Amino acid sequence: MKEMSKKLIDKINDLATPVKIMHVCGSHEHTIMENGIRSLLPEEVEIIAGPGCPVCVVPSREIDEALELIDKGVTITTFGDMLRVPGSERSLADAKAEGGDVRVVYGINKAIEIAEKVDNDVAFISAGFETTAPTTAAELLSTPPENFSVLSCHRMIPPAIDFLINSGETTLNALIQPGHVCTIIGTKPFEYFSTDYGIPQAVAGFNPLDILMSVYMILRQIHNETPKIENEYKRAVKEEGNVIATDMIDQVFDVTSREWRGFPKIPNSILEVKKEFADFNAREKYDIEVQDVNEAPKGCICGPILRGLARPEDCKLFRKACNPLHPIGACMVSKEGTCNIAHRYSRG
């Protein structure tokens, strides 16, 4: 592996040119930071992190919706990373400490098991990108118990990238696409970033060689003036993706628009439960209504970090008031969050 890495780094150095490559995957950021990949690359080749953490991009509004369900007496089930994501005034962990019934589960199937065993209403916060949406869809298609519902916080990656490209804020020149998302939706939804915008792309797996190979592929495209999407992760990703999984998503979800944490409303970026499944949509079932809220706690720059405009080290709170034991912003909460990863692996 060391010899292969050296060969790839030599090839990258041979083709090095000023480029800003964005990835949108917490697992990619983890691999990059844990293995010091940025330090191995030429200075002119920059890799920046975008909105790749599914927990981090859940906005305060949706945490407040879950808190309203708790106030209505509903049992909330969720992934552990969601507990400390800040709402407008408190988190799920705060609600649990105050006596709310909040339970950590490892998947929607475990949430349904709880619903089958208790008399109370149970709601599952179904966060995640296209990778986890099929599991939510599959369970709703299997007709869960009447006392079960989901609060859909599923989001789609391509519209977020499109927003960043057209916002004019983020001067990205190339993209490393997330391998796990592409296992579901394939490579086609990303093609137009190359054909319409001339952006080189590579779909990457999750080990250091995958990342280095993707950087080399991108630099080779720049050198040859042939922007396209190349599939480095062929061992898992097909051009068409997982047709069965995408069909289930289409059956259960409508595509709609809503804000992300650190972003305004992104058009056509949200997967919301269709009307046919309204009995299992917590927003419809309990008539949830929350007000617009101020996203960022004072001093937190989670928004710019999620948009690729800043690094955690640029934040005055980083490693001081904000740390994994006391996270102020969402990017420090999840192990996929850019700030959390930087806290574990960066120097200083």
The yes-or-no verdict on residue 309 having pLDDT over 80 is yes
Q: Using CA atoms, how far apart are residues 25 and 337, in angstroms rounded to an integer?
A: 9
Find the mean pLDDT for residues 178-196.
98
CATH of domain 2-54+166-178+189-231: 3.40.50.11750
The yes-or-no verdict on residue 295 having pLDDT over 80 is no
Same CATH fold assignment for domains 2-54+166-178+189-231 and 60-156+241-285: yes
Find the mean pLDDT for residues 197-218.
98
pLDDT per position as a tens digit, 64-97: 999 999 999 999 999 999 999 999 999 999 999 9
CB neighbour list of residue 136: distance below 8 Å, 6 or more residues apart: 108, 126, 150, 152, 154, 252
SS3 145: coil
Please, what's the b/e burial string for 301-337 (b: 16 or more CB within 10 A of its CB; e: otherwise)? Answer: bbbbbbbbbbbbeebebbbeebebeebbbbbbbbebb
Tokens standing for residue 317: 């709170």
The yes-or-no verdict on residue 348 having pLDDT over 70 is no
Find the mean pLDDT for residues 279-299.
84
Average pLDDT of the chain to the nearest whole number: 96
Tokens standing for residue 110: 């475990």
Residue keyed to tokens 């101020």: 294
Rounded alpha-carbon distances, angstroms, from residue 85 to 62, 80, 92, 247, 257: 10, 10, 7, 31, 21
- Minimum mean pLDDT among 156-160, 183-187, 250-254, 294-298: which range? 294-298
Residue 318 per-residue DSSP state = B
Find the mean pLDDT for residues 7-28.
97
Q: Report the Cα 312 to chain-centroid distance in Å.
A: 17
Find the mean pLDDT for residues 107-120.
97
Q: What is the pLDDT of residue 39?
A: 96
Q: What is the pLDDT of residue 113?
A: 97
Question: What is the percentage of the chain residues whose pLDDT exceeds 70?
Answer: 98
Tokens standing for residue 241: 């993706």
Contact in structure between 157 and 193 (CB atoms under 8 Å) = no
Residue 204 pairs in a beta bridge with: 178
Structure pTM? 0.95
Alpha helices in 257-327 (DSSP H): 282-285, 302-306
The yes-or-no verdict on residue 297 having pLDDT over 80 is no
Tell which phi-psi region holds residue 137, choosing left (phi > 0), alpha (psi between -120 and 50) or beta: alpha
- To the question of domain 60-156+241-285 being in CATH 3.40.50.300, the answer is no
Rounded alpha-carbon distances, angstroms, from residue 31 to 25, 126, 153, 174, 309: 10, 25, 26, 19, 20
Per-domain boundaries in the chain: 2-54+166-178+189-231, 60-156+241-285, 312-342
Contact in structure between 180 and 25 (CB atoms under 8 Å) = yes
Residue 165 per-residue DSSP state = H
Find the mean pLDDT for residues 189-205.
98
